[in-house]
Amino acid sequence: MLAIVNKTYFFTLLLLIPALHGCAETEATDYPLTAAAEGIYFHQGAHEEATPDNHGAIANIGFIVGESCVAVVDTGGSYLEGQQLRNAIRNITETPICYVINTHVHPDHVFGNAAFLEDNPVFIAHQRAPAALAGRQPFYEESFQELLGDAWQGTEFIPASKLVNIDQPLELDLGGRIIKLESYPTAHTDHDLTVLDKKTRTLWTGDLLFVDRTPALDGSINGWLDAMQHLLKIDVEVMIPGHGPISYQGDKTALESQIRYFEAIREGVRSIINDLGTIEEAIREVAVDEADNWLMFEEYHRRNVTAAFVELEWE
C-alpha cells in the first residue's frame, strides 16, 4: 500500500534547527523537509504517539511559497514543533507568512499555531472548528500536556480568525499561485478542510487520508467514505496525507486502501447489527484481517469499530 514516489520531484532537505523556548530546551536536531512540488514543502510526522522526545511531531505539516505570501498548512503538535517549522520556512524564504491554515483542530495539527503569532497571519479553519475547539480544548490541553511533559512549554490553542463554509470554497492568491480551501461535511471529524495548490495540483488532505498508519474515526464512517469518493474525483498530481508518505503522479492507491478498510468495517458492522449481534462481537470480529496492512492497528482499530457501530445501529 506504499505510495509511488516520482524521484524527479522528490528530495529531502535536512535543516539543522534548534528547538528553543523557555525551559524546554533541546539540543539542535534535524527537522527534515520534503519538497513535494515546486514551492511546496512538508515534514512527515512519526508513526507514534506524542512524547516529550518527538515534541508531538506525529502529523504531516508544511507550507506553500508564493511570490508574495507563504501559507502554512498545519503547525504540529507543540509550540516547539511550530518553532521548528517556522525556522525551516525562514531558512528557505523571507516571504511573509500571511496564512496559517488548520485542516482540523486535533492537537497534532494545531498546537504549533502560537509559534506564528509574531507574523500576524490570518488563521483559517473550517466553519465548525470553533465549536469543536470549545468542546474539547480543556481535554486536549490536559492530555497533551501530560504526554509532552516539558516539551509542552509555550503551547496554546490559537483559534481561527477566518472560517471556510461547507459548499463555499475559499481561494487565496499567494502571488503567482492560487490555493483552494474546501470544507467538508462530517467525515474524519466534523470540521475537515483540504488545501489544493492549483499551480502544481498538490492536494493537502489533512486527516481525510492516512497512509500506512491506521486511520482514526472521530466523525462519521458514512461521511468519511463520501469524502473519500470526492477526493478520488479531484484531479491531482501530488497528494499529501495527514499522516504517512505522499503520493505522486496522480496515484491514489493509498486512498483506495483506506476506502477498502472503512468499507470492510461498515459491511462487517452492518452484518452484525442485522443479525442482532453486539458491539463486543463487532470489536472482536470486524475487519481484523486488515491488521497486517496498517501500523498502530491495536491502538485504533477497535475504536473505529466502536464508533462505526454506534453510528450504524441507528440507520
75, part of any domain? yes
280, part of any domain? no
One-letter-per-residue 3-state SS of 93-131: CCCCEEEEECCCCCHHHHCCHHHHHHHCCEEEEECCHHH
**What is the pLDDT, as a whole number, of residue 180?**
99
274, part of any domain? no
Which pLDDT tens digit goes with each residue over 21-55? 232 322 334 789 999 999 999 999 999 999 999 99
Q: Which domain holds residue 42?
A: 12-250
69, part of any domain? yes
Report the CATH number that the domain containing residue 176 is assigned in CATH.
3.60.15.10
Q: What is the pLDDT along the chain (315 residues), one digit of tens a residue?
A: 333 233 323 333 333 333 322 323 223 347 899 999 999 999 999 999 999 999 999 999 999 999 999 999 999 999 999 999 999 999 999 999 999 999 999 999 999 999 999 999 999 999 999 999 999 999 999 999 999 999 999 999 999 999 999 999 999 999 999 999 999 999 999 999 999 999 999 999 999 999 999 999 999 999 999 999 999 999 999 999 999 999 999 999 999 999 999 999 999 999 999 999 999 999 999 999 999 999 999 999 999 999 999 999 999
Place of cell 488545501: 195
* Three-state DSSP class for residue 245: coil
- Separation of alpha carbons 139 and 92, rounded Å: 36
Q: Which three cell numbers stand for residue 167?
A: 459548499
291, part of any domain? no
Q: Which three cell numbers stand for residue 208?
A: 481525510
**Across the chain, which distance is largest between two alpha carbons, in Å?**
62
292, part of any domain? no
287, part of any domain? no
Cβ–Cβ < 8 Å for 278, 311: no
Domain count, the chain: 1
296, part of any domain? no
Which pLDDT tens digit goes with each residue over 236-294? 999 999 999 999 999 999 999 999 999 999 999 999 999 999 999 999 999 999 999 99
Cβ–Cβ < 8 Å for 75, 275: no
